[in-house]
Amino acid sequence: MGRAGRAAGLGGRTGRAVAVVLLALAPTAAADVYRSDGPGGTPLFTDTPTDPGCRLVIRTEPPRVPWREAVERTAPRHGLDPLLVRAVIRVESAENPRAVSPKGAVGLMQLMPQTARELGVLDPYHPRDNVQGGMAYLARLLDRYDGNLALALAAYNAGPAAVDRYGGVPPYPETQRFVDRVLGLYRRAKGVDLQGANVDTTQPDNGRE
């Protein structure tokens, strides 16, 4: 009996099949693996258990994502909630560090080249550099609009000039969808109502740099 067969507690063709299933599910999918017994006691393995009789046989750790660690570690230094930053990233780029918008915004937080230069971002495609710059810019906008999250998000999307010109969220469908989507994701992540005009996004005992 080979090593994989011994690990599964089975031999022969069944053991080899189980080993293939475990190798396919566990190392690459980064998901927990569950076992249930099929007809005749045949072992069945899955990473999406639906049978009440499923038992956990392999627990895997989620993959490390360096930019997420940077967000968790440094967002509070900018006075930002990491959940808010992650909501912006999700809506802006779907967490794709190579994303490029039709207008030329790039990276996770979709920085325009001029904005990236102003923020000192050397490589806007580098995930950690990009989120550092994006967080600094979002914090700057929150300061400009006295903590009004809706206005800061609108300015992040359409530019401060548009927000100032209209005296509020501009009547641009793209900008309105952006603000609504970010607030929706952030609201669900925090489990609170964020419909008010001003939303406290600061972290206790952490001022913006």
- The string of pLDDT tens digits covering residues 107-152 is 999 999 999 999 999 999 999 999 999 999 999 999 999 999 999 9
Q: Which two tokens stand for residue 104?
A: 């030329």
Q: Around Cβ 124, how many Cβ atoms within 10 Å?
A: 25
143-147 — which CB contacts under 8 Å span 24+ positions? Answer: 143/208, 146/198, 147/198, 147/199, 147/200, 147/201, 147/202
Q: What pLDDT does residue 193 have?
A: 52
Of 69, 72, 92, 174, catalytic: 92
Q: Angle of helix 82-93 relative to helix 127-144, nearest 10 degrees?
A: 110
Q: Around Cβ 92, how many Cβ atoms within 10 Å?
A: 23
**How does the average pLDDT of the chain come out, rounded?**
79
Quote the pTM value. Answer: 0.64
Strands in 43-46's sheet, in edge-to-edge order, are 43-46, 33-37, 55-58
Q: What angle do CA 162, 123, 159 make, to 5 degrees?
A: 5
Which residue type is seen at 58?
A: I
Q: What pLDDT does residue 82 have?
A: 95
* Residue from 17, 25, 24, 23 nearest 43 by CA: 17
27-64 pLDDT, tens per residue? 444 567 777 887 877 887 787 777 777 777 776 655 56
What's the CA gap between 61 and 83, in Å, rounded?
21
Q: Which two tokens stand for residue 154?
A: 């609108």
Domain 66-190 in this protein, CATH class: mainly alpha
CB–CB of 135/75 below 8 Å? yes
Question: Catalytic annotation on 95?
Answer: no
Q: What pLDDT does residue 29 have?
A: 46
Q: What pLDDT does residue 140 have?
A: 97
Name the segment(s) of the chain with CATH classification 1.10.530.10: 66-190
